[in-house]
Amino acid sequence: MSKPVCLADFETHFLKSLDRNARDYFSSGANQEQTLRDNVEAFSRYRLRPRMLRDVSNVNMKTTIMGNEIDFPIGIAPTAMQRMAHPEGEVATARAASSMMTCMTLSSWATSCIEEVAQASGSGLRWFQLYIYRDKAVTMDLIRRAEHAGYKALMVTVDTPILGRRLADSRNKFNLPGHLKLANFSTQSVQSSVDTQQQSESGLYKYTQALINNKLTWDTITWVKSFTKLPVIVKGILTGEDAKLAVQHGVDGILVSNHGARQLDGVFATIDALGEVVEAVEGRVEVYLDGGVRQGTDVLKALALGAKAVFIGRPVLWGLAYQGQTGVEEVLKIIKEEFKLAMALSGCAKITDIQRSLLTYEKRYSSKL
């Protein structure tokens, strides 16, 4: 393969290099994958209104998230079981994020444990994604370990009371390869639900049915907040109504996310939901976005709509499969440079120059013709 020059080049290699079990798990969305396609396509419905004759000789992409400085507003979203993409998995991703001076979010369902990822990350910024388990002791243990290992925020996933139906995983009877494990869990009961080799359904579906708490309410967020001093970010909000409730229950941040289009098919693309959420919170908490970000102009559009930063998931896996840590770094470098170029060509020398007036929606744009 020739040297990749955009994120799509990494995807091409990824699709050819992994076995079907892993490739389909990482790539697929829920049901007929309407939202999976729309997450990417929706960005094209927003058009840029660049400003001219502005000094962009020194473009500064630095920003802060939860009070921590990062070199550019593109972090790494939590993605599970990364050792299916590369033998070093989350450890390689953590090293890449640290070297690029951005944030990595570690999945609860990682194939590298909280502590070894922290060691690999060094002083790099890291957050921990949390599912709420039926066994409160399991959840509490994960929180305490993340705190002790220097993670700076908890990202609580709220859109998975049950697992969405992913047809590819059902067809493949997805299971975690036998040489891998969910490294953050030591108890056999937690491991066995996803490690079963003979099954009639996706092993991950069986796992969530057995162990994830599907009785969550907003009081659960209050409980998490009472148990930790770390900032709590809720992941999976798509409406203004829920954004207001999140603020009322004391969250520190919101990640506008549809779980990579892997839960409820037919929901908003995240870029379409972002404006409603930003308007609802009225600046009281930071708002982030994941889902469908594939190029620098996507980042620019999300920030113009009010996102503090974006997080990318699948492209990181593509880079990981391509060349481990180096591949992830290359993915981050490419989209970082694309974003810098988009800022400059739009007349934005710093993050605060990116305003809502930079965007117009396609329908409005067409009506002027």
Catalytic residues: 259
Query: Rounded to an integer, what is the distance from CA 171 to the centroid of its chain?
Result: 25
In contact, 131 and 160? CB cutoff 8 Å? yes
Query: Rounded to an integer, what is the distance from CA 153 to the centroid of its chain?
Result: 14
Judging by DSSP bridges, how do beta strands 253-256 and 286-290 pair with one another? Answer: parallel
Query: CA-CA distance, 70 to 351, in Å (whole number)?
Result: 12
Q: Which of 127, 122, 132 is nearest to 106 (CA)?
A: 127
> Tokens representing 153?
């925020």
Judging by DSSP bridges, how do beta strands 63-65 and 68-70 pair with one another? Answer: antiparallel
Judging by DSSP bridges, how do beta strands 154-157 and 126-130 pair with one another? Answer: parallel
Query: How far is residue 364 from each of residues 10, 268, 369, measured CA to CA in Å?
Result: 34, 19, 9
Q: Is 47 exposed, middle or buried (0-12, 13-18, 19+ CB in 10 A)?
A: middle
Q: Which of 124, 123, 86 is nearest to 105 (CA)?
A: 124
CA angle 353, 365, 53 (to 5 degrees): 35
In contact, 273 and 238? CB cutoff 8 Å? yes
Q: Which of 191, 283, 190, 290 is nearest to 237 (CA)?
A: 290
Q: Report, in this order, helix, strand and coil percent for the chain, each rounded to 5.
A: 50, 15, 40
| Amino acid code (one letter) for 277 | V
Q: Show the beta-strand stretches assigned E in 273-326.
A: 286-290, 309-312
> Tokens representing 177?
């390869």
